[in-house]
A and B are shown apart, each in its own frame.
Chain A
């Protein structure tokens, strides 16, 4: 029983991290129709931005996290405005562009900071224990931030004019444009929001795990898997799938072993895609 509950707690912690990542990833696809392969790169940038603020500028960590989120968001805004926007409807071009950006980010970070992990630790240490269960305090912080971020994104998308505008563009760009909505203004904002979320995740998670120029690769793979499982473009789907992935990963690793854990995840995704090709909460086709 102890092992079952512990695995559940680990799964929720993992799920919170995946949800933060998947949320931004699915936003971009849902609104712009772009599969952002640079998402893992913005995660890395968020980590290094927070690390730089703490190590070189002496900022307190919470402030560094906020700076990292806005810095990556700003970079995402600029990238969308000047690069992606020109070919936003060409899926292949945007895929190659974002992949290229990811490679540039990885190489650039390595050139500046070197390939080895810098010393970047979460400021809160310690583990909450109750009975035979435990959860590191830092994971609780990530979970709390994740819940706040999910709430904020939901509020933004469903309770504000900006969110309604973005959803209208996602639903049918041509009709939305005739209603006065301007994709060239809103798309960079959506991209900035997504990249900011990736940066926030990187700033929060890399001091818990490790920071390095290539740590975005497995993260991107996991975000991709989560979003496919949840249904491309669905915010609800990404959130539910992230926690589902976290729980499945934790339970399968604990009960089947580390090697079979990864296998179990992919088998699950395969089954879901065979039964429901659009994912758990995905629509049959995007309108944009």
Chain B
């Protein structure tokens, strides 16, 4: 009788424990990663891929070994597909991920990719977190597409103000590819320059053109005191800067586009070549709390983090997405996850407090905006990244 009581008690205790704590089941949360992992935009794609793998490792190492979703612990895996920074590449990548039952996608990064992935996301109810700077990066037509921000509508004005004061800018020519990835962002940037009393115009080139000599000649004919490399791919921007300097351009160089300073420095030949340079930086990198991500990455992944600072932003939005999945208690119902996500406060343990933006610019409040950075090189010396809070644009 005593033995029976003991057995019953042990059984009841085990059942109670079973009910109270999540269990390791065969639950697998697959996160798709879509980005240009090769070619001129590889630096951005690799930062995204690195962030996704780090996020998975972080979640898998925490707690009981996975993300708590309802009553289950879900092991997170990532599937990365190279979209080669093209619309058709991103669409093909998304379709491939759909065939593998992927419901959540981090990426893509550039506008042509975003254009390619949105219809697939809409048709298959994929929850996509992408980074494009297009004017229609997100919108009410794509309720499950979120934006890793902030985009230029949020930060361009703040950076132009700092650059104008620092370098006494009076005229600028923006150089960008002649697709939506270039035309959209330059139109937003130009508005910001003009609003600050700076004469601004644009020059476009065919994406994939490795030689800017003729474009440079055209730019210099306008005699600007500043050239903004806008959303040129990192590798291309380095060539553009090098050829500008070879042509005798001594003015300021700017970059109100995706940050690529390391690659520009490498290809162009160092800070002395850039001399006076300003750029949008994804995060205020001087913050030790943000830098801690890099240390943790090294510890967890056993290798150095990807070079591009886009890594940090992807980590921030990835954690937010995981939180929403966990709170919604589902790894299949993306609409439910999106609903939870929209209401989540933005307060990352490393990136700090952010805001939901996008209502006034995109017509939908689905842009995650963390504090950003303003990078400066003055007289060939790299300055500490300035911190900029997200302005109240919405």
Contact = CB atoms under 8 A, between A and B. Distances in A.
Interface of A: 3, 6-7, 10-11, 13-14, 17, 106, 110, 115-119, 121, 125, 127, 129, 134, 136, 209-210, 212-215, 217-219, 249-250, 253-254, 257-259, 261-262
B271 interface: no
Given A13-B213, A210-B235, A254-B217, A115 B246 contact: no
Contact of A134 (B208, B247, B269): B247
Interface string B198-224: 000001111011110111011001000
Contacts of B203: 257-258
Given A10-B213, A115-B37, A218-B210, A127 B218 contact: no
User: Which of A13, A118, A209, A261 has most chain B Cβ within 10 Å?
Assistant: A209
A219 B205 contact: no
17 contacts: A10-B213, A110-B38, A115-B42, A116-B42, A116-B307, A119-B266, A129-B248, A134-B248, A209-B211, A210-B236, A212-B39, A213-B38, A214-B39, A218-B208, A253-B218, A257-B218, A259-B204
Nearest to B82: A115
B80 to A, nearest CB: 12
Contacts of B38: 106, 110, 115, 213-214
B238 interface: yes
Contacts of A262: 206, 209
B232 to A, nearest CB: 11
Interface string B221-232: 100000000000
Contacts of B205: 253, 258-259
B326 interface: no
B305 to A, nearest CB: 14
A249 B203 CA distance: 16
A121 B42 contact: no
Given A117-B267, A212-B39, A258-B205, A249 B214 contact: yes
B168 interface: no
A258 B204 contact: yes
Contacts, number: 104
Given A3-B221, A134-B248, A117 B215 contact: no
Nearest to A107: B38
A117 B235 contact: yes
Contact of A253 (B39, B43, B45, B215): B215
A217 B208 contact: yes
Interface residues of B, number: 36
A210 B43 CA distance: 14
A13 B243 CA distance: 13
Given A115-B37, A213-B38, A10 B217 contact: yes
A89 B6 CA distance: 85
Contacts of A10: 213-214, 217
Given A115-B46, A117-B235, A259-B205, 18 more contacts: A3-B221, A10-B213, A10-B214, A115-B39, A117-B266, A125-B269, A127-B248, A134-B246, A134-B248, A136-B243, A136-B246, A209-B211, A210-B236, A214-B40, A249-B214, A250-B217, A258-B203, A258-B215
Nearest to B176: A258
9 tightest A-B contacts by CB?
A258-B205, A253-B214, A115-B42, A259-B178, A262-B206, A136-B246, A10-B213, A250-B214, A115-B38
A52 B69 CA distance: 49
Given A7-B214, A212-B235, A214-B39, A116 B263 contact: yes
B214 A261 contact: yes
Interface in B68-109: none
Contacts of A210: 40, 210, 235-236, 238-239, 267
B122 to A, nearest CB: 30
Contacts of B218: 253-254, 257-258
